[in-house]
Chains A and B, each alone.
Chain A
């Protein structure tokens, strides 16, 4: 146990602050062929809905300068499949598992939460009210502070595990939404989800994604994500999981300095599957070299 790197997110005890960003790591099985996933601080699984969701037509991926657009559309086999088929594998890793919960109605979100309540091996819930790739639900809940508060309040009243709320950057004032959901009972916040964007093929005059719009992720969104983490960290008093474009140790440290208690890596896994464990190793050395005893000496320590 590397106690110097240990952090606590609303009671979820992690041996280090490195997590995977939902939807980029499935349920860990694929990446476990390339890295020791038990080294992660926690794993956040792909968005789970009550019933199977087929997802959007292809093409679903498009590379843009320093980023990618995706329009997966929450493809997943439903919460029962997750609990029965994916969770047994995850339990064996002996690290906290956080379930990204999605839906198109409030009832659907609550149904997923009820199904995973009390299930052994689930340490937390990440309420996804920020997916830009579905017509109903998702980002629509997360872009209106009143709506967001309403769904968080209901979710909190049924959830047995700590409730992390994942915020969308596609809003006028992210602090307003953050305050509203914390007031409604969020135990922690995750930010940011992908930034709504598009790309056009000038040869064919067609959009590059079948859905026209998609979510931008990767280094291109890092400055936006960092600014939002910084703003939200000064506004609310719950732990923040920072994400958006993190692809190396220095990127992760920037998020800690801005006020994130933990960070999640998404798109960067696609290029370097070992990036999460490399950042964990790098972070340990970074603290040692500076004689820092714990993450507290880094988190929110930006000098302005």
Chain B
């Protein structure tokens, strides 16, 4: 992990309230693995605002990208960041997705902004010639981010929108059972709202497919010191539990390890 002052190379509006930003940092770009995140200082020097966590969305040489939705004051500030602005960033942080050595086929389960880290992951899987299936869902058609790219690189793609403007009407997990009747991935990676992760964990357990989920929690330090970002996980003995840190023990967890209730 590094603390860097890194320059914004480009920023772009993808659709309403969704932006991507490209940042120059050899330290972070060259050391990052898919699933890791950066902890970024938003706002001017003297303003009190905690750092905000963002998944590493894509890496290209010495640069990396973030993909984010404006939901509050931190992301609003970041959406206004122009080229040449210097950002204060901690990263890369956390446990990323694990990619088994002889992995042949995987399925992504994507809910909304959950696509952010999976694009980075897909780049690495494609390089390794792993067969990719995608189940993707969003509230509405315009929010199906990277849909065309994922469609192009995947073997088969399953789509849902909450309002039925594209694909099946409903949640992405509604179509998962059917999808897994037609394709048989060796591994599932899920990223999105907690409800999507939870349901995906249930289904993958039933079908005995290993599944990793990327968890989200409120963070303060982002480096493992404050214990603010607790995720309830199974303890060493049956029925016991332990709060692990999403920032450094995760954000990617084995779905079986998480206590969902």
Contact = CB atoms under 8 A, between A and B. Distances in A.
User: Do A and B actually bind?
Assistant: yes
Interface of A: 23-26, 30-31, 33-34, 46, 54-63, 66-68, 70, 72, 75, 218-219, 247, 267, 269-274
A61 B41 contact: no
Contact of B49 (A54, A63, A75): A63
B contact patch SS = loop
B230 interface: yes
Contact of A26 (B225, B229, B242): B225
Contact of A31 (B50, B223, B228): B223
A219 B48 CA distance: 8
B1 A57 contact: no
Interface size class of B (residues with CB under 8 A): 20 to 34
A contact patch SS = loop
A273 B41 contact: no
Given A270-B50, A271-B50, A58 B229 contact: yes
Nearest to A76: B227
B226 A273 contact: no
Interface string B235-248: 00000011100001
B48 A270 contact: no
Nearest to A60: B228
A271 B226 CA distance: 12
20 contacts: A25-B225, A34-B90, A46-B227, A54-B241, A54-B242, A55-B230, A55-B243, A58-B217, A58-B231, A58-B243, A59-B218, A60-B230, A61-B219, A61-B229, A66-B48, A75-B227, A269-B225, A270-B50, A270-B51, A271-B48
Contacts of A23: 226-227
B225 A59 contact: no
Given A33-B1, A34-B1, A270-B50, A61 B228 contact: yes
B228 A70 contact: yes
Contacts of B227: 23, 26, 46, 55, 60, 72, 75
A143 B1 CA distance: 41
Interface of B: 1, 3, 41, 48-51, 90, 217-232, 241-243, 248
Contacts of B90: 34, 273
Contact of B232 (A57, A66, A267): A57
Nearest to B243: A55
Contacts of A61: 50, 218-220, 226, 228-229
B220 A68 contact: yes
A68 B219 CA distance: 11
Given A26-B227, A269-B221, 18 more contacts: A26-B224, A30-B225, A54-B242, A57-B232, A58-B230, A60-B218, A60-B228, A61-B229, A67-B48, A68-B50, A68-B220, A70-B228, A72-B226, A75-B227, A270-B50, A270-B51, A270-B226, A274-B3
Nearest to A65: B48
Given A58-B218, A61-B229, A274-B3, A75 B48 contact: no
A62 B225 contact: no
Contacts of B231: 58
A24 B50 contact: no
A274 B224 CA distance: 16
Contact of B226 (A24, A56, A57): A24
A26 B3 CA distance: 19
Nearest to A26: B225
A270 B220 contact: yes
A30 B220 CA distance: 13
Contacts of A247: 48
A273 to B, nearest CB: 6
A218 B1 contact: no
Nearest to B248: A30
Contacts of A34: 1, 3, 90, 223
B195 to A, nearest CB: 15
A75 B243 contact: yes
Nearest to B73: A63
B224 to A, nearest CB: 5
Contacts of B1: 33-34
A24 to B, nearest CB: 6
A72 B245 CA distance: 12
B243 A54 contact: yes
Contacts of A54: 241-243
A249 B232 CA distance: 38
- The 6 A-B residue pairs with the shortest CB-CB distance, nearest first, are A61-B228, A26-B225, A30-B225, A61-B218, A58-B230, A30-B224
Nearest to A33: B1
A58 B230 CA distance: 6
B244 to A, nearest CB: 10
Contacts of A62: 218
A286 to B, nearest CB: 19
